[in-house]
Amino acid sequence: MSVLRPFIEARAVLGVSAADDAAAIKRAYRRLAVAHPPDTDPDRFRRVRDAYELLTEPSTRVREMLLRPQPAVDPPPPPAVPPLPPAEVLAMVLLRLAAASVDTAAMLETATGPAETAPAAPPERKPLR
């Protein structure tokens, strides 16, 4: 979208040319405001009012347009979803994950028998005086 497009459209709504001065813009606004009063034709009046405000005070709109980020081109489409692996490969991956989650110490204990360790005695407490 061109930066000048809103100004060109505003001039078209009011029916003024680029060479017209502020007095001509004001006359066109008043003529259209009488022709399209807000109580009978609110949409047309709103367009006329917005066009007049834009042409009489362009610095506000220009500041908004410059501060609002506008992409120069359309964003790229999202990447394609990769295809799922074959069922056999998926089953193998799941089995490997399940095998990796098994505690290796438990596997060693069942293969060699339980490790014999003496239970630790609780520490003695000294009486408080």
Q: How far is CA 97 from CA 8, 30, 88, in A?
A: 64, 77, 14
Torsion of CA 29, 32, 37, 40, to 10 degrees: -140
Residues 28-82: pLDDT tens digits? Answer: 999 999 999 999 999 999 999 999 999 998 888 878 877 877 767 777 899 898 8
Phi, psi of 50 (to 5 degrees): -60, -40
User: What is the enclosing helix (H) or strand (E) of 120?
Assistant: none
Q: Are 40 and 34 in contact (CB under 8 A)?
A: no
Instruction: Tell the residue number behind the tokens 């399209």, with chain if given.
Output: 36
Instruction: Tell the residue number behind the tokens 């029916």, with chain if given.
Output: 15
pLDDT at position 28 is 95
What type of residue is 48? V
What type of residue is 95? L
Tell me the whole-structure pTM to 2 decimals. 0.50
Residues 31-41: pLDDT tens digits? Answer: 999 999 999 99
The domain locations on the chain are: 5-67
Choices 3.20.20.70, 1.10.1660.10, 1.10.287.110, 1.10.3720.10: CATH for 5-67: 1.10.287.110
